[in-house]
A and B are shown apart, each in its own frame.
Chain A
Amino acid sequence: MKKILVIGAFSLLAIAVQAQNYYVYVTAESEDEVSVIKFDGKKAETIKTIPVGVWPAENEGPHGITIAPDGKHWYLSMAHGNPYGTLYKYETGSDELVGSVQLGLFPASMQISPVTGLLYCVNFNLHGDMVPSSVSVVDVETMTELTQITTGAMPHGSRLSSDGMKHYSVAMMSGELFEIDALNLKVLRTLDLDEASKMAGMDHSMMDHSTMDHSKMGEEKKTAPKMDGIDHSKMDHSKMDHSGMDMPAMKHSTFKPTWVSPHPSKNLVYVAGNGSNEVLEIDADTWKVTRKFVTDKGPYNIDLSPDGKRMVVSYKTAAKTGVWDLESGKELARIDNSQKVTHGVSISSDSKFAFVSVEGIGDDPGMVDVIDLTTNKLIDTAYLGKQAGGIAFWKIER
């Protein structure tokens, strides 16, 4: 049995090596469009544009996009509704709309677990009050929202561990990393990323740790900030009525995490600190920072190559993309993007190319820069509607 599986896997890899055309889906948030980008190894171009939304004279804001593990459907989060946003389900290839479900405020990034079959979408609530928001869990077969799991303020970056059993997201304003049991739909752990970043910045080699009391460190990290010591991770927030609350005291993170990506084969997660210009590598076993990568301004999204060798980070403020070697921890290249406001990253399944969406400003067209991860050079740029944002690699086709 094992032999058959190994042979099968190698056959698949062999086929992948011969691949020629790469396809990604990318959203144009201020155009209410989704574009399909084709890249043939040299030239990238928009080959199809799909109008999305239902209101001609209102901007509904397609933000997050993801492809189902079986590649048969793509899912799109529309940020703006009255007031709640909507998740749409389309068939890949035909791009026909097949279903929708209303989620929370400003639903954003998302992913489907190949193991549970459920979709996990953060309700970013970008423009709401600084109160805890949630992760919506959706049964995509029936397009039913099963539950909303309360996390932190402005949750973003919704990614699953390689085994599909753990969900990770970060809360941009409360500065937390959340780990959710993807099966039992409960928050397992939280990490104060501002504290974690500070701790990682210390040179521990020169310190005398012998007199330190470590006993309370874990507790502190698991405690939601400035919440009078209440462990919110153990609370059921789903029935809370925040409507009458005025919660100005919630912490505004300086680390400002905007993304988290688990390693494809190791028990590590990588968190972008948009406000502190760093990426933290966190050991998911010890729940501690193991490495800190100092980046250019405004690291925003992260994707890791499926072979686990490269980390590609979009530097939103700097309008650049960083390519990192994960083993050495060195930044191999810092590539200028084609215009301002670098947004998302998606790496091809063969780990060869990174597709980077670049928003632009005003009526600039949206762009997708294609970066060769062997030469670390920008190869070509595809153009699409305004404010290119969410991006998802679809397939390699021969």
Chain B
Amino acid sequence: MKNITRVLCMVALLFPLGLFAQKEIIIEPATLTMEVGQSKQLNAYVMENGKKLDEDVNIVSRARRALSIDSTKMAYAIAPGVHNIIAIAAGVRKDFTITVNYPALAEIKIEEIPEKIYAGTPIELKVKVIDKSGAVRDNVDVTFETKSATIANVDAFGMVNTMVPGKATITAKAEGISNTITVNVVKNPIVSIQLDAEGNEARTGDVFHFKAKALDKNGNEITDAPIYFSFNGKSDNVSQSASGLIKQDGRFVADEAGRYVITASCGVASASKTVKITAREVARKIELVGHGSVSDKHTSDFWVWEGVDGRDYAVTGTWGADGTAYFWDVTDPASIFKIDSVQVDARTVNDVKISEDGKICVISREGASNRKNGLVIIDVTNPRDVEILSTFDENMTGGVHNVFIDKGYVYALSGGQKYYAINIKDPRKPFAVSKFELDTPGHAIHDVWVEDGIAYSSNWGDGIQLVDVGNGIAGGSPENPKQFASYAYPNKANHAAFPFRSPSTGKFYVIGGDEIFPYGLNMEGPNMAGGYLHVIDFTDLDNPEEIARFEIPYAGSHNFWIEGETLYVAFYNGGVRVVDLSGELMGDLRKQGREIAWIIPNDPKGYVPNAPFTWGAQVHKGHVFYSDWNSGLWSAKVEPEKPKATKIQSK
């Protein structure tokens, strides 16, 4: 008997569906429609060959945040929609749906209607539809109508065009409810627009600040006049459109050389100005200088520094390999050669950093054989004979992806969720003094960079976080980090951040870089990345504004460096890009011709041959150094900038 039971069990495990095929779960009620906020008791049981079995049935919602079902099979309708439910008993399941109706609409709100509208000027109605559950609905068609069309008419999108003074009623309707408002159209006193700008000639990428005033017949300014800025243009290149960006505060930037007409209008009054835009012409030659090959493994991040002996050195990490970091002599950038290495228990040394005095190196560990990762502190006073001083893994076991050294502290990421400040003033006895971690749901972090006592962390969906770790702006210190500003952008891909205080404008920008791989994974050959740099104007810390971008088609941003007013950015398969950041920044920097130079490290003897995948860039003593995932460490030299009057030959 025991053996038969065993065999039956084995068969049951092999053919569970076949064995129980005749079983069926019955749900009562068979169909169910609910209202938001309602609860309903479900009943479920198993039938087999017409007999009701005494077996447990569990009912589970596949959309538990919209419709939850508890262990007593009570269903709670939370949000509208058709929700998929699964009923499970031993060896049998049933899929069914419960419909939760959308609540009836409660209100159509029309917001921010000005007290008076000057005849001839348009306004756009800001409409919000709210249902009886209090939810704002964006899946409802709203129609508009007016019975005072001679005073004001309204189009299908809620744009109101005003004609003559008077009161006009406008009605918004949706699913049986409506809201009627009255707009007060008054006589338009505006007879002219005065439009001023700093000049009428500039280069592509230079930002104009147009000032417009609406004036009455006596020349008095009408301060509450709605002024609308627009532009049209003609490119010098006949096959190119005259693109640019204009903001409704009068800022304008052109992408192409040509003539642009900027117009400020208020009703029938308008004024235009023509500006001549010439090509930015910042392109310079860049020449490959040297290469320190790493062809047996992937290379990760690097750092170049002047050693205590006055010579120049670099350290590079390795990725997905044997935990090695290499030390190089780069005093002659044309002759880069290895001088030492360390190997630690890791598979990836993702990041490497050097202290300001050139004596201490910190490398990160991921993929340790005992799964206890962390960081390693190395004496690089003599880079030809480096010495591991200590390791630190307390709270770091999840892997340290990136680190930064600032004034005796290491800021080290932990497990991709937070960073710790670690005192390394005695590098043989490091100890953590604080941590910074967001409290948002599902928060994650990728990088941290410290400058002038401010830590700039890159937090994917939570964007760029500015934390006072000694600057004093928010009373913070390494022991007591204080967050004081942030900016998150919609694609949730913030991977790196670098501050840029513009010398020519005084503006405080932070450049945030994406890391995205939209084209999948190719382990055998070249890969392509996506994503771009976002330029955020943090001059007003409470109201940061994303104002510009730098994007390379079919390549993606990674690590970058800014020196003076020049950006050096690794764009993975797009190599290193050198970008002019001079002046105010706005719009599409690449289209504006701000790219000074580019170089791609293509190595037929690389770890993956001919598959450039540039990791990062750094400028040191006039040379651009850059590491490449498949080929090691490189150096290049950008041709010096020539006097403006000299004709520059493009690359």
Contact = CB atoms under 8 A, between A and B. Distances in A.
Interface of A: 2, 5-6, 8-10, 12, 30-33, 51, 53-57, 59, 69-70, 80-84, 114-118, 126-128, 137, 139, 142, 144, 146-147, 162-165, 183-186, 243-244, 265, 340-341, 359-363, 386-387
A337 to B, nearest CB: 14
Contacts of A55: 515, 517, 521
Contacts of B17: 70
Contacts of A185: 58, 60
A114 B93 CA distance: 12
Interface-centre pick from A162, A184, A359, A362 (highest chain B CB count, 10 A)? A362
Given A82-B460, A117-B93, A142-B62, A387 B367 contact: yes
A247 B347 CA distance: 31
A109 B523 CA distance: 26
A10 to B, nearest CB: 8
Interface stretch (B28-36, B409-417, B541-549, B574-582): B409-417
Contact of B4 (A6, A12, A70): A6
Contact of B8 (A5, A53, A126): A5
A51 B517 contact: no
A59 B520 CA distance: 14
A360 B323 CA distance: 13
Given A54-B520, A82-B460, A361-B345, A59 B320 contact: yes
Interface-centre pick from B4, B414, B572 (highest chain A CB count, 10 A)? B4
A240 to B, nearest CB: 12
What 4 A-B pairs come out closest when comparing CB atoms? A127-B398, A363-B322, A127-B415, A362-B322
Given A56-B517, A69-B13, A128-B415, A139 B60 contact: yes
Given A10-B7, A146-B62, A362-B346, 17 more contacts: A8-B11, A30-B320, A30-B347, A83-B417, A114-B13, A116-B93, A128-B417, A137-B60, A139-B60, A146-B61, A146-B64, A164-B90, A183-B88, A183-B90, A265-B6, A362-B345, A386-B347
A376 to B, nearest CB: 25
6 contacts: A55-B517, A57-B572, A127-B373, A146-B86, A386-B320, A387-B367
Contacts of A116: 88, 90, 93
A185 B13 CA distance: 20
Given A363-B347, A387-B367, A54 B60 contact: no
Given A83-B444, A126-B397, A183-B88, A164 B13 contact: yes
A82 B438 CA distance: 13
B21 to A, nearest CB: 13
A127 B399 contact: yes
Contact of B521 (A53, A164, A362): A53
Contact of B64 (A69, A147, A340): A147
Interface residues of B, number: 70
B538 interface: no
Contacts of A386: 320, 347, 367
A153 B397 CA distance: 15
B372 to A, nearest CB: 9
Contacts of A362: 321-323, 343, 345-347, 369
B56 A184 contact: yes
B64 A361 contact: no
B71 to A, nearest CB: 6
B359 to A, nearest CB: 27
A165 B91 CA distance: 10
Given A118-B88, A139-B60, A30 B367 contact: yes
A30 B297 CA distance: 13
A186 B56 CA distance: 13
A114 B16 contact: yes
Contacts of B88: 116-118, 183
Contacts of A183: 56, 58, 88-90
Contacts of B523: 32-33, 51, 56
Contacts of B371: 126
Contact of B442 (A30, A84, A115): A84
B114 interface: no
B443 A83 contact: yes
Interface string B85-100: 0101111010000000
Contact of B366 (A59, A114, A243): A59
A6 B398 CA distance: 51
Contacts of A340: 369
Interface string B317-354: 00111110000000000000000000101111000000
Contacts of B86: 139, 146
Contacts of B460: 82
A83 B56 contact: no
A17 to B, nearest CB: 15
Contacts of A114: 12-13, 16
B441 interface: yes
B60 A363 contact: no
B517 A54 contact: yes
A117 B25 CA distance: 15
Contacts of A83: 415-417, 442-444
Contacts of B517: 54-56
A9 B19 CA distance: 13
A184 B55 CA distance: 12
B611 to A, nearest CB: 10
B316 to A, nearest CB: 15
Nearest to B86: A139
Interface-centre pick from A244, A265, A340 (highest chain B CB count, 10 A)? A265
B9 A163 contact: yes
Given A82-B416, A117-B93, A363-B321, A54 B9 contact: no
